[in-house]
Chain A
Amino acid sequence: MSMIRDMMPGFELFQPATAQDAVALLERYGDDAWALAGGLDTFDWLKDRIKRPRAVVDLGAIESLRGVRAAAGGGLEIGAMTTLTEVSRDASVKESYALLAKAAGLVATPQIRNQGTIGGNVCQDTRCWYYRGGWPCYRAGGNICYADTPASMNREHCVFGASRCVAVNPSDTAGALVALDASMVVLGRGGEKVVKAEEFFIGPAVDITRMTVLRPGEMLTAIRLPAEWAGAHYYFEKARDRQSWDFALVSVAAAMKVEGGTVRDVRLVANSVAPYPMRLKAAEAQVRGKTVDERVAQSAGDIAVRGARPLHQNSFKVPLMRNLVRRAVREATATTTA
Chain B
Amino acid sequence: MELIQRTSNPWGQEVLVRISWDLFFIALAAGALFCIIHLVLRPRWLKREAAAAKAPAGFVSGSGAASGAGSERVVRHGLTARLFHGVMAIAMIVLLLTGFLPKVGIQFGQWLTLHWIFGVVLIASIVFHMIHATFFLRLRDILIGPRDVKEWFQEIRYMLGGSTPPAKPGKYPVDHKMYHAAVTVAGFAAMITGVLMMFRIDTPIFARNPYLYTDSTWGWIYVLHGVGGVLLVALTITHVYFAILPEKRWITRSMIKGWVTRGELVAHHDPARWDPGNADDRAAAAAKIARESA
Question: Using a CB–CB distance below 8 Å, which chain A residues touch chain B?
Answer: 1, 135-136, 141-146, 148-150, 162-164, 202-203, 205-207, 215
Contacts and interface: CB of A to CB of B under 8 A. Distances in A.
Interface residues of B, number: 24
B200 A141 contact: no
A328 B201 CA distance: 34
A144 B218 contact: yes
A205 B222 contact: no
B10 interface: yes
Contacts of A163: 112, 201
B2 to A, nearest CB: 12
A143 B18 CA distance: 8
Contact of B107 (A1, A143, A207): A207
A162 B111 CA distance: 14
6 contacts: A136-B8, A141-B5, A143-B215, A143-B219, A164-B201, A205-B110
Interface in B135-176: none
Contacts of A164: 200-201
B196 to A, nearest CB: 12
A144 B215 contact: yes
B224 to A, nearest CB: 13
A149 B10 contact: no
Interface in B45-78: none
A142 B210 contact: no
Contacts of A1: 10
A63 B215 CA distance: 48
A142 to B, nearest CB: 6
Nearest to B7: A136
B210 A136 contact: no
Contacts of B105: 215
Nearest to B222: A143
B164 to A, nearest CB: 52
B109 interface: yes
A163 B102 CA distance: 15
Given A143-B218, A143-B222, A145-B210, A136 B112 contact: no
Contacts of A142: 7, 17
Contacts of A203: 109
Given A143-B18, A144-B210, A205-B110, 10 more contacts: A136-B10, A141-B7, A142-B17, A143-B17, A143-B200, A143-B219, A145-B210, A162-B202, A163-B201, A202-B107
A141 B102 contact: no
B117 to A, nearest CB: 14
Contacts of A206: 102, 107-109
Nearest to B108: A206
A163 B201 CA distance: 7
A25 B245 CA distance: 47
Given A146-B10, A207-B102, A136 B201 contact: no
Contact of B17 (A135, A136, A207): A136
A179 B108 CA distance: 23
B123 to A, nearest CB: 21
A205 B112 contact: yes
B107 A149 contact: no
Contacts of A202: 107, 109
B9 interface: yes
Contact of A205 (B5, B10, B109, B218): B109
A171 B37 CA distance: 54
A136 B165 CA distance: 57
Contacts of A207: 102, 107
A164 to B, nearest CB: 6
Contacts of B200: 143, 164
B183 to A, nearest CB: 26
10 shortest interchain CB distances as A-B pairs: A136-B7, A205-B109, A206-B109, A206-B107, A143-B222, A207-B107, A143-B17, A142-B7, A142-B17, A135-B10
Contacts of A215: 105
B102 to A, nearest CB: 7
A1 B9 CA distance: 11
A106 B279 CA distance: 84
Interface string B4-24: 010111100000011000000
Contacts of B10: 1, 135-136, 146
Task: Pick the most buried of A143, A164, A205: most chain B CB atoms within 10 A of its CB.
Answer: A143
B115 to A, nearest CB: 11
A134 to B, nearest CB: 9
A329 B210 CA distance: 39
Contacts of B109: 202-203, 205-206
B258 to A, nearest CB: 41
Interface in B198-223: 200-202, 210-211, 215, 218-219, 222
Contacts of A148: 210
Nearest to B105: A215
Nearest to B16: A143
Contacts of B17: 136, 141-143
Contacts of B202: 162
B210 A149 contact: yes
A143 B199 CA distance: 13
A162 B208 CA distance: 13
A148 B211 CA distance: 10
Contacts of B219: 143
Nearest to B221: A143
Task: Pick the most buried of A136, A148, A164: most chain B CB atoms within 10 A of its CB.
Answer: A136
